C-alpha cells in the first residue's frame, strides 16, 4: 500500500504546462491514497480515484484565490465509507478508508496556512491536536499533509510546534514515518497499531522544486 502527499503550490488555469507535469508525476507515483495540499480541482490524478476535498476557498482572508482552489484533497483508490468532522472545513478533512490492511481514518491537512511563526499556526495546531485525540481512540488514523515543521533538521520549524506534535503522537500512539527526511515539512504519520509488522520505505520526488516549492513524499507499506 502506497500513501503519498504533496503540496502543489496553488496551480491555476494559467499554469497549464506545470499542471500537466504535476498530473504526469502523480500518475508515475501511483499512490493508493494521495493527499494534495494547496491544490485545485484542475489537478485530477485519474479515474481510479474517488475524492473528498475541503471547502472551496473564499476570496478574502488577505489572499485572492482562484476558482477551484482548496487547501486539501484526499484521493483514494480504496472505498471511502464516511466523512468525519474536523475543526476547520477549509483546512483539514477526515475520511474513513477501507484499505487491504483494515479501516483507517485519513486526516488530510495543512497546519498553519501562513507558516509556523504566525499566531494562526499555534491556534490551528491546538485544534487539530484536539481532532487527532478525538478520532484516534476509536479509529486507526493516518495524519498526512503539510505540517509546516521539519523533524530531521532545523530547516523550517519552531521548537514549541515540533514538541507539541511529538508529544501528541507519543500520547496517542502515532508513528511519523517521514520524520527522517531532510528539509521536508510534509509528513505521513500513522497509528502504530495499524502498522503492526509492516515494513516501510519512503520515496521522494520534485527534489529540485521545479514543479512546486515542496518536495513530494510517500510511504510504501509491505
What are the residue ranges spanned by the domains of the chain? 2-221
State the pLDDT at residue 61.
Answer: 54
143 near 176, Cβ under 8 Å?
no
pLDDT at 60 over 80: no
pLDDT of residue 34: 98
For 115-145, write each residue's pLDDT tens digit.
888 888 999 999 999 999 999 999 999 999 9
Q: Residue 146: pLDDT band by 50, 70, 90 thresholds?
A: very high
Instruction: Match 497546519 to its residue by C-alpha cell.
Output: 111
Which superfamily, per CATH, for 2-221? Endonuclease/exonuclease/phosphatase (3.60.10.10)
Position 64 confidence tier, pLDDT thresholds 50, 70, 90 = low
Helix or strand or coil: residue 141? strand
Quote the pTM value. 0.95
Query: Residue 59's pLDDT is what?
Result: 60
Amino acid at each position: 500500500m502506497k500513501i503519498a502527499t504533496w503540496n502543489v503550490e496553488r496551480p491555476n488555469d494559467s499554469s497549464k504546462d506545470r499542471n500537466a507535469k504535476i498530473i504526469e508525476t502523480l500518475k508515475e507515483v501511483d499512490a493508493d491514497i494521495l493527499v494534495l495540499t494547496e491544490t485545485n480541482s484542475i489537478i485530477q490524478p485519474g479515474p481510479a480515484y474517488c475524492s473528498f476535498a475541503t471547502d472551496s476557498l473564499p476570496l478574502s482572508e488577505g489572499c485572492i484565490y482562484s476558482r477551484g482552489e482548496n487547501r486539501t484533497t484526499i484521493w483514494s483508490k480504496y472505498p471511502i465509507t464516511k466523512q468525519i468532522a474536523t475543526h476547520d472545513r477549509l483546512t483539514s478533512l477526515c475520511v474513513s478508508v477501507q484499505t487491504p490492511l483494515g479501516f483507517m481514518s485519513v486526516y488530510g491537512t495543512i497546519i498553519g496556512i501562513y507558516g509556523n511563526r504566525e499566531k494562526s499556526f499555534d491556534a490551528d495546531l491546538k485544534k487539530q491536536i484536539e481532532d487527532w485525540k478525538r478520532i484516534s481512540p476509536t479509529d486507526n488514523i493516518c495524519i498526512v499533509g503539510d505540517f509546516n515543521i521539519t523533524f530531521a533538521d532545523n530547516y523550517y520549524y519552531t521548537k514549541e510546534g515540533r514538541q507539541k506534535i511529538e508529544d501528541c503522537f507519543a500520547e496517542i500512539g502515532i508513528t511519523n514515518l517521514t520524520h527522517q527526511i531532510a528539509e521536508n515539512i510534509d509528513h505521513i504519520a500513522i497509528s502504530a497499531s495499524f502498522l503492526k509488522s509492516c515494513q516501510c520505505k519512503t520515496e521522494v520526488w520534485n527534489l529540485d522544486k521545479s514543479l512546486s516549492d515542496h518536495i513530494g513524499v510517500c510511504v510504501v507499506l509491505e
